[in-house]
Amino acid sequence: MATMSSAPSDTHSKLIGYLLWIFGFLGAHRFYYGKPVTGTIWFFTLGLLGIGWLIDLFLIPAMDRDADFRYQAGPVNYSLAWVLLTFLGVFGLHRFYMGKFLTGILYLLTGGLFLIGVLYDFWTLNDQISMKHAKRGIFN
Predicted pLDDT at 1 = 45
Question: What values do phi and psi take at 68, rounded to 5?
Answer: -65, -35
Predicted pLDDT at 3 = 43
Residue 2 — very low, low, confident or very high, per pLDDT cuts 50/70/90? very low
Q: Which pLDDT tens digit goes with each residue over 116-132?
A: 999 999 999 999 999 99
Evaluated on CA atoms 99, 77, 33, 73, the torsion sign reads positive
Position 140 pLDDT exceeds 60 = no
Predicted pLDDT at 36 = 97
